[in-house]
């Protein structure tokens, strides 16, 4: 007895919007590779432009204008009275809707039977990766629906080649495939990693229908020309054919040099496989490789999964969010048949599935049921941690400071504050090694020592820091708490010496 899969699915739709409108802050890139770039262009806000859009053109404006542009243009053109926080919520709702509709549609198209579809959609929709990461404004969140559409198109071409054998070239799918590949590569160069192995079936298809090569190339080259033209104009101020800006190439060259990657963090080559993938899949990783067996090993989703892990692992900078698009791909390959169960139970399951496909989620073996409950607990805890508490006070604090005049803000032991949320046209943000004398200054002190913070504190400054840090690690002049947001945890500076050192919250302080 209990809720069926449809009721759980409806609940996850509600949870998508609840967590999507929460204030957690997973990584600086969810602000600095989009809003910090676009808010200055559309609204004239003073922002902090990242190196990819200033020092070295290695991120394309094209995908940003496609995804963010319509909403930001509408708000700017019609001068809609809305706060930066409201803009942020609108875009995150857009991410939720796109992810929900596109990913679920692709899963239904890719998988051949109703039980398979139910299984994959169920695990995708109940994952914290879908509920949290997909609603955050990462380029990886844009990459996920692009990966799924590309996977669907390649799988359709393979089905036509191996099963349907229609004898006619599907020009439409080849054209759309070219468009998606171009959009995916200009969004993130890592997009190509997912399809290096599955592309075998595309080459096999166009070898049979050689004229299809021109159609696919046309689909690829048209958006590519558009993206190059946009980037050339944005980065140089003019359309100069002798100085074209090709951001994916610049990104590839930059990331091929170990010295460049060392500035962002060097990880062992096994990090994706041994650390990041288990964090994404949790206990369901047993369904992917129980006793290193999987009956889906020849399917297009499984080849995409393997391709993504192998080729992205060749780059020694490996973050968990890079694997976010693999979550729905992996659910297509969850194999309950590999779990131990007696023959009588197997016969009972097969009969139930034949008569009522929806029973797939209630027909697991005993180990399968344990995995399912562990899956619920794992994703519930990760939703609370990553969806609510993780750096959760940064955005609300900026929204609060937007209404308060300040001369100098010192941010300590938080992620870099995205200044666009202040909606200010005069603010400047610097780090402690690049201090300047300015009336409206934000200092990103990161994880600086106490001595540095003490030198920065003046009567006209305010300190924004985790409550736990002030309780246990701060050693300086006495401070007065002006304002606090309770749902904030800093996982980078945990101190287990006492409960006060684990107190959640982010506070605004001034000197007494």
How do residues 137-196 score in pLDDT, each as one tens digit? 999 999 999 999 999 999 999 999 999 888 899 999 999 999 999 999 999 999 999 999
Non-local (6+) Cβ contacts of 28 within 8 A are 415, 416, 418
* Residue 355 pLDDT grade (very low, low, confident, very high; cuts 50, 70, 90): low
Element of type H or E holding 456: helix 450-456
3-state secondary structure 408-444: EEEEECCCCCCHHHHCCCCCEEEEHHHCCCCCCEEEE
* Residue 351 pLDDT grade (very low, low, confident, very high; cuts 50, 70, 90): low
Stretch 335-349: mean pLDDT: 65
Q: How many CB atoms within 10 Å of residue 229?
A: 15
pLDDT at 454: 94
Domain range annotation of the chain: 5-389, 394-511
pLDDT at 341: 66
* Residue matched to tokens 């107190």: 503
pLDDT at 346: 55
Alpha-carbon distance of 115 to 113, in angstroms, equals 6
Give me the percent of the chain exceeding a pLDDT of 90: 86
The pLDDT mean for the chain works out to 93
Helices (H), 322-392: 326-331, 343-355, 366-384
Q: How many CB atoms within 10 Å of residue 510?
A: 16
Two tokens at 464?
Answer: 């924004």
Give the model confidence (pLDDT) of 51-65 as tens digits: 999 888 999 999 999
pTM assigned to the model:
0.94
Identify the three-state secondary structure at position 83: coil
Two tokens at 347?
Answer: 């016969």
- Give which of 92, 47, 56, 96 is closest to 71, Cα–Cα: 92
């Amino acid at each position: 007895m209990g809720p069926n899969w449809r009721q759980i699915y409806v609940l996850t739709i509600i949870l998508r919007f609840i967590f999507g409108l929460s204030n957690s802050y997973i990584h600086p890139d969810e602000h600095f590779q989009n809003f910090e770039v676009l808010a200055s262009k559309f609204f004239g806000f003073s922002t902090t432009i990242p190196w990819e859009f200033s020092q070295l053109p290695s991120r394309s404006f094209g995908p940003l204008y496609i995804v963010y542009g319509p909403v930001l243009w509408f708000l700017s053109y019609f001068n809609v009275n809305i706060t930066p926080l409201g803009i942020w919520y609108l875009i995150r709702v857009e991410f939720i809707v796109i992810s929900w509709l596109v990913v679920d549609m692709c899963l239904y198209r890719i998988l051949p039977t109703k039980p398979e579809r139910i299984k994959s959609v169920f695990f995708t929709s109940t994952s914290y990766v879908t509920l949290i990461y997909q609603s955050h404004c990462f380029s990886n969140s844009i990459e996920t629906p692009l990966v799924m559409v590309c996977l669907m198109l390649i799988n359709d071409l393979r089905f036509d080649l191996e099963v349907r054998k229609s004898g006619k070239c599907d020009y439409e799918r080849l054209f759309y495939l070219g468009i998606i590949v171009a959009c995916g590569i200009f969004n993130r160069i890592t997009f190509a990693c997912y399809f290096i192995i599955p592309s075998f079936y595309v080459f096999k298809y166009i070898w049979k229908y050689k004229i299809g090569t021109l159609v696919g190339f046309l689909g690829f080259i048209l958006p590519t020309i558009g993206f190059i033209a946009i980037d050339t104009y944005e980065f140089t101020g003019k359309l100069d054919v002798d100085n074209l800006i090709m951001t994916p190439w610049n990104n590839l060259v930059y990331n091929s040099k170990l010295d460049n990657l060392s500035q962002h963090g060097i990880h062992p080559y096994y990090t994706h496989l041994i650390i990041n993938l288990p964090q994404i899949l949790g206990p369901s990783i047993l369904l992917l490789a129980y006793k290193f067996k999987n009956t889906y090993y020849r399917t297009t989703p499984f080849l995409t999964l393997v391709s993504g892990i192998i080729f992205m692992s060749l780059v020694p900078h490996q973050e968990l969010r890079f694997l976010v698009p693999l979550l729905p791909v992996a659910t297509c390959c969850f194999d309950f048949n590999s779990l131990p169960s007696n023959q009588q139970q197997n016969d009972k399951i097969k009969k139930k599935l034949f008569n009522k496909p929806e029973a797939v989620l209630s027909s697991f073996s005993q180990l399968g049921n344990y995995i399912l409950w562990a899956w619920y607990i794992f994703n519930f805890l990760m939703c609370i941690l990553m969806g609510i508490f993780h750096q959760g006070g940064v955005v609300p604090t900026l929204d609060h400071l937007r209404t308060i005049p300040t001369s100098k803000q010192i941010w300590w032991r938080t992620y870099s504050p995205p200044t666009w949320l202040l909606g200010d046209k005069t603010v400047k943000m610097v780090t402690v090694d690049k201090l300047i004398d300015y009336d409206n200054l934000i200092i990103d002190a990161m994880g600086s020592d106490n001595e540095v913070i003490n030198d920065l504190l003046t009567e006209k400054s305010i300190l924004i820091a985790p409550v736990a840090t002030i309780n246990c690690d701060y050693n300086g002049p006495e401070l007065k708490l002006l304002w606090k947001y309770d749902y904030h945890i800093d996982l980078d500076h945990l101190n287990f010496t006492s409960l006060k050192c684990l107190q959640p919250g982010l506070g605004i302080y001034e000197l007494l």
